[in-house]
Amino acid sequence: MAELAEADRYLLEQIDRGNKDGWAQLVQRYQGRLLAFARSRLSRKAEAEDLVQDTFIAFLEAIKRFDRRLSLETFLFTILRRRIIDALRGKRLKLTYLQETMHGDRDDMEDASSRLEGPSMTASWYAHRAEDANLLSDALGASLNALVGRFREAENFRDLQIVEMLFYAQLRNKDVASVMKMDEKAIALIKHRCLNELRDHITAHARLNKADSQWLASPAWESAEFAASMVTQVWEAQRPTCPKRSTIGRLMLGTLDGTWKSYVEFHVNELGCRFCRANLDDLQKQTDEAPKALHERVMHSTIGFFRS
């Protein structure tokens, strides 16, 4: 969930005061999952480590611009992701396993960020975008959270899975229908309803500038593909459905129950969200290494028994 954790807030305050220990703790807290994410895309271990190091340096350089209402983890992942795309020379970086299975090497699928820069983008939209780039994204982010929150509260995990596949994994209606064993038309209807709900929520709650309001009411939003790529871009930046790291830990330990468990399993294993996979890999590694550390401690404290 896109929200600054208490521990992160504390560490950032330490860093603001120039406290090196706070920084060391922050690096310790995030290096494992960042490395797991980089390693999933880059075969050379040294290269992955270099990019993680660059990410931390870039974070310190950008720390004043970090919006502290948002998740620190997502911010770090975003920096790292851009560096990986650079390292792959602009090759696409799919964020979910399901995208890879479904799309294979389809070349018309790209990162949402690059799709938005495509020819479908109107010049006038871009012009006002530059003026007040974050206003609409913020409003859309809040509306996405409301939509996701409503699905969760109602335990409507079916629709939650569908919107993840549509807007996060960018699957076609047809592919979502086959995963869900549903009719393609039913998927199209859910997509249409969600986009309408998002637009209505933005209109009702956000204070937008005139250009944004006009754009939202224009036929551009009605073109589902265009609106969806806009939603995808904000989705990727805010990850509204990613479970907390502690929840991923509980999935690993097998202590989740019922429909919630099935949903988290879907997100992490079937959809295969790479950010959550990175957390899972990191948690598993920590678990694997813990006995080794304990072993060393026990050996160290008992060595006296064996001295002659």
Size (the chain), residues: 308
Beta carbon of residue 187, minimum distance to Zn ion (angstroms, whole number): 21
Give the closest residue to 25 by CA, choosing from 1, 51, 5.
5
H or E segment to which residue 163 belongs: helix 157-163
Rule CB under 5 A: say whether 36 interacts with Zn ion.
no
Nearer to Zn ion, 15 or 242 (CB): 242
CA 25/CA 20 separation, integer angstroms: 9
Residues 227-256 that bind Zn ion (CB under 5 A): 242
Q: How far is the CB of 4 from Zn ion (least distance, A)?
A: 18
Torsion of CA 265, 268, 270, 274, to 10 degrees: 180
Closest approach of Zn ion to the CB of residue 239, in Å = 6
Measured from the CB atom, the residue of 208 and 264 that comes closer to Zn ion is 264
Least distance to Zn ion from the beta carbon of 227, Å? 22
- Whose Cβ is closer to Zn ion: residue 115's or residue 239's? 239
Comparing CB distances to Zn ion, the nearer of 2 and 121 is 2
- Residue 208, interface with Zn ion (CB under 5 A)? no
Q: Which is nearer to Zn ion, 87 or 273 (CB)?
A: 273
Rule CB under 5 A: is residue 273 a binding residue for Zn ion? yes
CA distance to 9, 10, 25, 69, per residue, from 22 (Å): 11, 8, 5, 19
Residue with tokens 């919107």: 163
Select from 72, 147, 230, 276 the one that contacts Zn ion (CB under 5 A).
276
- Residue of minimal CB distance from Zn ion? 273
Query: Over 80-145, what HEC string results?
Result: HHHHHHHHCCCCCCCCEHHHHHHHCCCCCCCCHHHHCCCCCCCHHHHHHHHHCHHHHHHHHHHHHH
Where does this chain bind Zn ion (CB under 5 A)?
Answer: 242, 273, 275-276
